[in-house]
Structure 1
Amino acid sequence: MKQIPSVVCLLGPTGTGKTAAAITLSRQVPVSVINFDSRQVYADFPLITAQPNEEEQSMCPHLLYGFLPTETKMTAARFVTLAMEKINEVWKAGRLPVLVGGTGMYLRSLLQGIAPIPPIPEEIRTAVLARVQSEGPQKLHEELLATDPDYAAKIHPNDAQRNSRAAEVFLATGKNMTWWHTNSEHIPAPCKALKIGIDISLKELEPHLAARIDSMLELGALQEAQVALAACPDPRAPGWTGIGCAELLAYLQKEISLETAQLEWIKHTRAYAKRQITWFKKETDINWFSLGEGEAVAEFALQWLDKSGVNFRR
């Protein structure tokens, strides 16, 4: 084995079968799947966030899924630390690390490095938190559209964590998140990566997303949210800001009807998928495959490993 780990990254918008592609690859080589979806880290929402089910997880090890409490904040910096720990563990065990997910910022932070943003003064952080609690993250997102439209397009208006972070950074440094992500020196993770994308148009994806949400509700998504609310009744907790979680929370708090919650969930999922497609299409080093081409994806990854001098074949 080479000292620097080789990793395969399966990426693309939500609902495009990335986990299925990873499992197909696992039939050819010993694979450990490592999550890079910012919502699938939460323990209370395995169904709502579409985490791999028990059958899928039984096919090969799945890491960094469903381990974080609802009230705990997840950041790109923390993800990079955890992901590199898992990548090194998997590599040393003689297995291929396969990163699977759709949070482009997490993957970019890992492979290209994190912007060295200075520590935020506590008074600024406290002031921003107070605004979120009194005005909601949507107000901060409106302001972000003016100060950093590129970054605002990548995050949801209800995402309290990211909208707060963007506001803090701008107030503390005078520079927006886009500047920090593009103009400062980054230190990439010590690994060699192959990026494979699952390509599908938004028009083709839409009916699948709606059907998946229907299925989630039939399987008990609402009951999952009820249990999570009993365990963490703070609506401002980071885990509740996720798509699906926020809409079901609004229903449980009698703010909207269940029908409206479902329609909002579908609408926000579509918008998120559109942002993901836009984000990944800007990347120049992604090797694109169509939905359902799991066998071709696996063969392409195996050829890349062979060219890299890494032999994982069973």
Structure 2
Amino acid sequence: MTSARPPIVCLLGPTGTGKTSAAIAIAGRLPASVINFDSRQVYRDFPVVTAQPDAEERAACPHHLYGFLPTEEKMTAARFVELAVDKIEEVRGQGRLPILVGGTGLYLRSLLSGIAPIPEIPGEIRRQVLDRVAEEGPQALHAELSRTDPDYAAKIHPNDTQRNARAAEVYLATGRTMTWWHTESEHAPAPYGALKVGMRIALSDLEPHLAARIDVMLERGALDEAQAAYGRCPDPDAPGWTGIGCAELLGFLRGELTMAEAREKWVRNTRAYAKRQITWFNKEADIHWFAPGENGPIADLTERWLSERG
């Protein structure tokens, strides 16, 4: 069987389920490069807090779109697609298989299904929303979002200034929710044939691993990393600080939380995020599910799939 669409492999699933190790297992069988699609792992200042691949993992095969964005810059799904397409073509030009690895479902869906053509937001509406954020905080916008677009609200953190403001301004300007724009509007698909491989684990089994993983991050200098980032970018509203782990450590650095409270909140928010990821990916079609650690069978499937494509 042949396909005109160039192949890519997508390794997806909740945080902490061994997606990078699965990608490296595939790269051990055939020439491949890893391309990140995690919205937090793009930030340069937080390699430990966001669990970016370490030096040993990066040495196993080329890795792209990790740790390049400064804390004060925002990443959007549209910008991600532009960067990812460029990297996919670069990797293909090198004769290597692009393996997309991450847990930000919206980014992957946007790449494979196209970006919703949301109209330009009038400046007056944008200023109105930003004024509300300054006065009431992103939590107020998130509470409204939970009523108007509960599916999208479940995917973002109440403290995420950028995404809550974006959802509010889009709804005000268009009368449509973000969920509608991402699922109902007309947009063209990207020209790739994708093998989607998911890591499936019960949240109750994943939860103790997530807590232990956070303790390892703290042992490896997560707090020092956040302290250095705070010295470079003390703006608490900067996009890089909205990520889980970053926000909690910032709360400690600003004297708003004790270290014990910051850790407890980090664990709790990570669990809630993993739950949202599991819910999102369970709704996706055409995913081949594996348990974390089944790297050999994942590599076998990839080789079979590529062979069948001709």
- Same fold at TM > 0.5: yes
Equivalence for 2:223? 222
Q: 1:44 offset after TM fit, Å?
A: 0.3
**Does the 8 Å CA contact 1:43/1:68 hold for their aligned counterparts?**
yes
> C-alpha separation between the residues in 1 aligned to 2:15 and 2:254?
27
- 8 Å Cα contact 2:3/2:309 also seen in 1: no
Question: C-alpha displacement at 1:134, in angstroms?
Answer: 2.1
Is 1:278–2:275 an aligned residue pair? Answer: no
Provide the residue aligned with 2:184 in structure 1.
Answer: 183
Per the alignment, in what secondary structure is the counterpart of residue 138 of structure 1?
helix
- Are 1:192 and 2:193 counterparts? yes
1:301 partner letter: T
Percent identity of paired positions between Structure 1 and Structure 2: 68
In structure 1, list runs of 5 or more residues that go unmatched. 310-314
Q: Which residue of 2 aligns with 1:30?
A: 31
- How many residue pairs get aligned? The number is 309
Q: Give SS of 1:265's match.
A: helix
**Match for residue 94 of structure 1?**
95
Whichever residue aligns with residue 149 of structure 1, its letter is: P
Matching residue of 1:269: 270
State the distance in 2 between where 1:22 and 1:149 align.
Answer: 33
Q: What displacement does 1:42 show?
A: 0.3
- Contact kept? 2:3, 2:193, Cα under 8 Å: no
Separation (CA, whole Å) in 2 of partners of 1:130 and 1:93 = 48
CA RMSD of aligned residues (A): 1.1
Q: What is the DSSP-based 3-state SS (H/G/I as helix, E as strand, rest coil) of the residue aligned with 1:109?
A: helix
Counterpart contact for 1:10–1:18, Cα < 8 Å: yes
Residues 141-180 of structure 1: matches in 2 within 5 Å?
141-180=142-181
CA distance in 2, matches of 1:266, 1:11: 21
| Mapped contact 1:14–1:102 kept (Cα < 8 A) | yes
The AA in structure 2 aligned to 1:112 is S
Secondary structure in 1 aligned to 2:117? coil
Unaligned runs of 5+ in 2: none
Given the alignment of the two structures, is residue 112 of structure 1 paired with residue 104 of structure 2, yes or no?
Answer: no
**Aligned match of 1:312:** none
Which residue of structure 2 aligns with residue 289 of structure 1?
290
The one-letter amino acid paired with 2:229 is A
Paired with 2:224 and 2:132, the residues of 1 have a C-alpha distance of: 31
Post-superposition shift, 1:178?
1.1
Residues 167-191 of structure 1 deviation map (CA, whole Å, 9 limit, x = unaligned)? 0100000111111112210111111
**d(CA) in 1 for partners of 2:185 and 2:191?**
19
Structure 2 residue identity aligned to 1:31: A
Offset of residue 212 of structure 1: 0.3
1:203 aligned onto 2:207: no
Task: Give 1:125 deviation, angstroms.
Answer: 1.1
Residue 308 of structure 1: aligned partner:
309
Q: Residue 199 of structure 2 aligns to a residue in which SS?
A: strand
Cα distance in structure 1, aligned partners of 2:219 and 2:207: 19
1:92-140 CA-to-partner distances (Å, cap 9, x unmatched) read 1100000000000000000001111100011111121122222211111
8 Å Cα contact 1:5-1:87 kept in structure 2? no
Partner of 1:65: helix, strand, or coil? coil
Matched residue type, 1:116: P
Partner Cα distance (2:9, 2:156) in 1: 25
- Give the C-alpha shift of residue 4 in structure 1: 3.9
Q: Which letter maps to 1:88?
A: E
Aligned mates of 1:282, 1:109 — CA distance in 2: 15
Query: What TM-score, normalized by structure 1, do the two folds share?
Result: 0.97
Return the alpha-carbon distance in structure 2 between the equivalents of residues 188 and 162 of structure 1. 23
Q: d(CA) in 1 for partners of 2:205 and 2:129? A: 39
Name the counterpart of 2:259.
258
- 2:301 aligns to what SS in structure 1? helix
1:9 match: secondary structure:
strand
| 2:236 corresponds to | 235
Specify the alignment match of 2:127 in structure 1.
Answer: 126
Is residue 5–residue 88 contact of structure 1 (8 Å, CA) maintained in 2? no
- The alpha carbon displacement at 1:3 in A equals 6.9
- TM-score, with structure 2 as normaliser: 0.98
